[in-house]
């Protein structure tokens, strides 16, 4: 497995692989690799001859310096995980390699970045689209794989690729979960045992809404109330957002669902004691499928 640290070296390798007629897949990550990341590697392997992983904690997408400082890191462990997954090359640049001191250029997707995670994280998605553009220009991949847990990010990248004409196929891979249902995330490492237990309210909220839709519930307000009701069972949870959105445009869902809707959650878990430990923000989502004939009676309102 090659470990590459400069853009020029990666571009040269990309040119050689393409000249040899080989199909290259890129899996962009910020490290702290877990089984969810490795599922992206496996999805990439099914679609390409060469699989490359980038490991770069992108400072441009953190609007909170404390969040950047506490983001989990472990390069040696990540490299070993990549070797075990038969990754062909890892791109692990230094920040100065990706962001020259006098850099003046960024990439913006204007509308899809406004709601959900974009509403209270100014500059976050500009950081994401800028670094992904740089990675595409460095790696020249035929295909790039992203996880559906970051649903808005995936939608934004797809729009960027379409709008700018990048010659790369974007693949979304399903969410990988722990045995108890919690979505795999590098941030899970920052949860203390009690917060880890309480974090299950996210998947409980998703499950409750899925069951309600299957039973016939179509009222957006009732579904959002149900999700909030489940999350409120966790004493250390603070809701950032609970929203129903169109899966393609991310526009707000109508008052009554007539087609599939994205239920998107972002919840912060505070430390056990003020000033002790850090708040951990987790996201999760599910597309609620709406089919004619699902259920006959709408559930009663929740008290």
Catalytic residue ranges: 37
Cα(114)–Cα(116) distance, integer angstroms = 7
Taken as a whole, the chain contains a residue count of 303
CB 86 within 8 A of CB 63: no
Kindly give the pairing relationship between strand 50-55 and strand 24-29.
parallel
DSSP one-letter string for the chain: -EEE--HHHHHHHHHHHHHTT--EEEEEE-S---HHHHHHHHHHHTT-SEEEEEE---GGG-S-HHHHHHS---HHHHHHHHHHTT-SEEE---HHHHS-TT--------STTSSGGGTSSTTHHHHHHHHHHHHHHHH--SEEEEETTSHHHHHHHHHHHHHHT-S-EEEEEPPPB-TTSPBP-GGGGG--HHHHHHTTHHHHHHHHHHHHHHTT--BHHHHHHHHHHHHTTSTTEEEEEEEEE-TTT-PBPPSB-SS-EEEEEEEEE--SBTTBS--EEEEEEEEE---TTS-SSPPPPP-
CA atoms within 13 A on the CB side of 92: 14
The candidate with the shortest Cα–Cα distance to 187, out of 258, 277, 249, is 277
């Amino acid at each position: 497995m090659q470990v590459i640290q400069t853009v020029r070296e990666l571009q040269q390798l990309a040119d050689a692989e393409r000249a040899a007629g080989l199909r290259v897949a890129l899996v962009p990550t910020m490290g702290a690799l877990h089984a969810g990341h490795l599922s992206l590697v496996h999805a990439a392997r099914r679609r390409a001859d060469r699989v490359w992983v980038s490991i770069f904690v992108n400072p441009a997408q953190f609007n909170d310096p404390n969040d950047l400082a506490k983001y989990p890191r472990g390069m040696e462990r990540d490299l070993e995980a990549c070797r075990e997954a038969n990754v062909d090359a890892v791109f692990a640049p230094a920040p100065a390699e990706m962001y020259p001191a006098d850099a003046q250029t960024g990439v913006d997707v204007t509308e899809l970045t406004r709601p959900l995670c974009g509403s209270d994280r100014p500059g976050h998605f500009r950081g994401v689209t800028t670094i992904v553009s740089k990675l595409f220009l460095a790696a020249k991949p035929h295909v790039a794989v992203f996880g559906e847990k970051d649903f808005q990010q995936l939608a934004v990248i797809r729009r960027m690729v379409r709008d700018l004409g990048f010659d790369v196929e974007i693949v979304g891979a399903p969410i990988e979960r722990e045995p108890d249902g919690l979505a795999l995330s590098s941030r899970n490492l920052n949860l203390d045992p009690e917060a880890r237990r309480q974090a299950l309210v996210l998947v409980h909220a998703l499950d409750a809404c899925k069951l309600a839709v299957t039973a016939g519930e179509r009222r957006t307000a009732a579904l959002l109330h149900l999700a909030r009701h489940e999350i409120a069972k966790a004493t250390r949870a603070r809701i950032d957002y609970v929203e129903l959105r169109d899966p393609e445009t991310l526009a707000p869902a109508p008052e009554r669902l007539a087609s599939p809707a994205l239920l998107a959650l972002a919840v912060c878990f505070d430390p056990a004691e003020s000033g002790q430990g850090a708040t951990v923000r987790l996201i999760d989502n599910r597309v609620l499928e709406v089919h004619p004939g699902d259920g006959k009676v709408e559930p009663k309102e929740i008290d």
